[in-house]
Copies of this chain bind each other. A is one copy, B any other.
């Protein structure tokens, strides 16, 4: 063993400050989304920009580069799985990405995000794509300028993906998504019902918000929400964030006419929150103390929302609790009907309202279009037409207007290209992790049915959460499942559940 170089303590100290700045940023965002009076918005923009610039300055400090240079030869001789070795590698990764992007381009990107979201909002409100096209053109131009800062990629889209899902490539995504489409299209054809279903499923209201909140609190307490270390608040666009160890904040929104949104949304955000809460204490004040990717993050939220929340045993556990809290007791619905109802398949125009089965076809469409835009085979002006064609091809739906079509999501206006695929990656990972989990915890169904969530949570924490950013996503998945990311577990899971619930292969209802 060579002696530990003195630069390591300096790296830890700089890392702690970067981690703190990230957590403070999370608090600014949480507060803005939940508590801030509306007139505070302009100043909040300044605060976020200042924090961003302070952090960027520290991340690109040449002294940090010198520390890494000094530490890397030492790291090369250590156990490659040691925390410090991984820390050095991750900080190097962040440092290299940050120094390659000129400050002026970073400022342009930040300004365009605010401007693009405003343009998108105006366009969607009037369902008028022409009010969005220039902003989108600018976003594409900025992505090209951003990609040009790097040189070690096969496909320009790889550079964009890497910001959200380290280790993922365009080539891998194309193969995964092609297989997914092949599996999903016939499944949807078999499972989707266009027969008039009860308008809002088992959760149709009206339910007073206070009743919904009480029911949620009860369910969340049952799965592990601890008031000493968690908060639940209202936000127009729900999210989850850890401000620091012992401070996890999840959000939801309520619709009097449909409790399903708040219910499954909260389970989803609980999954995100549990991930961040489970990061090892000794990593949490360091650059390793964050979630490793959007895909892995989404795998945890989808696991709680769908693999747990829409499973037969968990539905059996939750139904009496919900019925006890909601007036009318969910109209005495049976466990079978409840389970079938929350797994119904409907083709729909809007991604965020779509069910677990059709959801990924919405993502496939966005991936295809992003790729064509970046490759230059699709122009911004042809985008609405291409959207509508894709919706028809993948989901058999005619898009009535752009507000319910190409203008439905904020992402592109904010410059987030390469982000959508991570939603589907999360779905795939969740199913794949669940297979590994089921092998390790053969009693899982019985445990879920009894509301015994300890073994599940321990498994997730030890295998995934605890590591933070220590292992890049492909390595993490391989360590846990012994496999590369694959489509088959997700398709197997869906087909089995839809069959079990009577959604697939049942007589028409």
Residues of chain A at the chain B interface (Cβ within 8 Å): 16-17, 20-21, 23-24, 27-28, 31, 35-44, 46-47, 50-51, 53-54, 227-231, 243-248, 284-285
Contact = CB atoms under 8 A, between A and B. Distances in A.
A246 B54 contact: no
Contacts of A248: 37
A247 B46 CA distance: 13
A285 B49 CA distance: 13
A468 to B, nearest CB: 15
A24 B50 CA distance: 10
A32 to B, nearest CB: 10
A118 to B, nearest CB: 18
Contact of A50 (B17, B41, B229, B246): B17
Q: Within the oligomer, what is the number of copies of this chain? A: 2
Given A31-B31, A54-B54, A20 B47 contact: yes
A54 B18 CA distance: 11
B35 A35 contact: yes
19 contacts: A16-B50, A17-B54, A24-B24, A27-B27, A27-B31, A37-B229, A38-B246, A39-B228, A39-B229, A40-B229, A40-B244, A40-B245, A40-B246, A41-B246, A43-B245, A43-B246, A43-B247, A43-B284, A46-B244
A17 B54 CA distance: 9
Contact of A20 (B20, B37, B46, B231): B46
Contacts of A39: 228-229, 245-247
A228 B37 contact: yes
Contacts of A17: 50, 53-54
A285 B46 contact: yes
Nearest to A285: B46
Contact of A245 (B42, B53, B227): B42
A244 B37 contact: no
A43 B23 contact: yes
Contact of A36 (B28, B243, B284): B243
A247 to B, nearest CB: 3
Nearest to A284: B43
A35 B227 CA distance: 11
B24 A246 contact: no
Given A31-B27, A35-B231, A228-B37, A244 B20 contact: no
A51 B25 CA distance: 11
A144 to B, nearest CB: 30
Contacts of A44: 243-244, 247
A38 B39 CA distance: 29
A20 B49 CA distance: 9
Contacts of A41: 246
Contacts of A23: 43, 47
A28 B28 CA distance: 9
A197 to B, nearest CB: 40
Nearest to A55: B54
Nearest to A245: B43
Contacts of A31: 27, 31
A386 to B, nearest CB: 42
A9 B28 CA distance: 27
Given A20-B47, A51-B24, A37 B245 contact: no
A27 B51 CA distance: 13
A25 to B, nearest CB: 9
Contact of A16 (B35, B40, B46, B231): B46
CB-CB nearest 9 A-B residue pairs: A43-B244, A39-B246, A40-B247, A20-B50, A39-B229, A40-B246, A37-B229, A39-B228, A20-B47
A83 B53 CA distance: 26
Nearest to A243: B40
**A23, A27, A248: residue with the most chain B Cβ atoms closer than 10 Å:** A27
A58 to B, nearest CB: 8
Nearest to A36: B247
A47 B35 contact: no
Contact of A47 (B47, B53, B54, B244): B244
Contacts of A227: 37
Contacts of A246: 37-43
Contacts of A245: 39-40, 42-43
A117 to B, nearest CB: 20
A23 B17 CA distance: 18
A44 B42 CA distance: 25
A57 B28 CA distance: 22
Contacts of A284: 43
Contacts of A54: 17, 21, 54
A249 to B, nearest CB: 8
